[in-house]
Structure 1
């Protein structure tokens, strides 16, 4: 169960965030309203939400998930693969927030790069995607730190998606949303797979928070499939974040 969540308000510079989506520039005012709704949905799940102020120096800084991996024993501060994001992890308010919640703080060091959007937690095991943003050295450092605290990790080579959780979401109870290259992957053969079709692949990025699943708005087939397993579902519109390669999980640290 999660007790706390950290989010960061989107900055005006988000309209110039990193993107491969080719969906146009985000509407900043709409993005703010969507962020408000996201925070309210999280609160409905019974967590305390810490809201960090927008940081105009970093267009992508609302995607706080990438800068740290929060576990039950420690927080591991990452070293983002995107150069424009590398100093996000050193921002004073983020460091202060993490230190307020975690006694044990670890850091990924050069030449390792890793973004936590490439990491999926399943109990005490962490699947780590090898991507353009996460290299082998970063993954190996992460696994070594996890093992130091009695946790474990393994790597998943990526072929098509930006981040591991672009096409995967673990929603507990051995249920796994899968899309694209992960549908037939033998790595995930022991999970009960809820297959997301290609047209709805964006909705493979959902988040489980205390037996409630947050689902991007506009994907009724995905919503119905998740509800069929007895989960309460809350839809959250993330259209403006999709334009800069972001989804539901990217917008928060949950622990």
Structure 2
């Protein structure tokens, strides 16, 4: 035993104990990106709100103003969590495989449940529900169609569409009369128009993205060496 502290050994001998510190930092990052983080919890809350919303809006035949107000509160909370969970996941590096799958499912589940319930109660024409749901399903399939060529980014129009849909559907959930009922009609008209226009824009982006991807593949195939080339 030399009596010389390990920290003063001049780098000779065994590695110093504190050299393992980066592993600890990695462990912290892994915990932050675990399943039980704030972003995923908000997504789970939104999923749980879907059956709760349906039960509330359909209570007493679906036309009681108090139950409809409570259903609106559940819908509003779901929309608010939708605004924050994605932001928190990106801001604090909390993106997980669960979040990637559950977040879009939760978004479409609460909106689809609200639209179907409103149409079933006779408050909203079925064609409106059909246009919105078919657009959402179509865009999802479109993303899978071009996924090997790239990702279609969310546009400002798409975000505006989501805001318009949420506002319009929320107004329809409430029992409104007079000018407010007229307001929600025009708000829904704007939401439907944005739904169609942004859907067509996504189709355009998907076609362009696929063409560019196929062109890159053809260029890569043309530039690849032939199997008979000498080494």
The answer to which structure has the higher strand fraction is 1
**TM-score (normalised: structure 1):** 0.21
| TM-score normalised to structure 2 length | 0.23
Larger CA Rg, structure 1 vs 2: 2
More helix as a share of residues: 2
Higher RCO (C-alpha 8 Å, min separation 6): 1
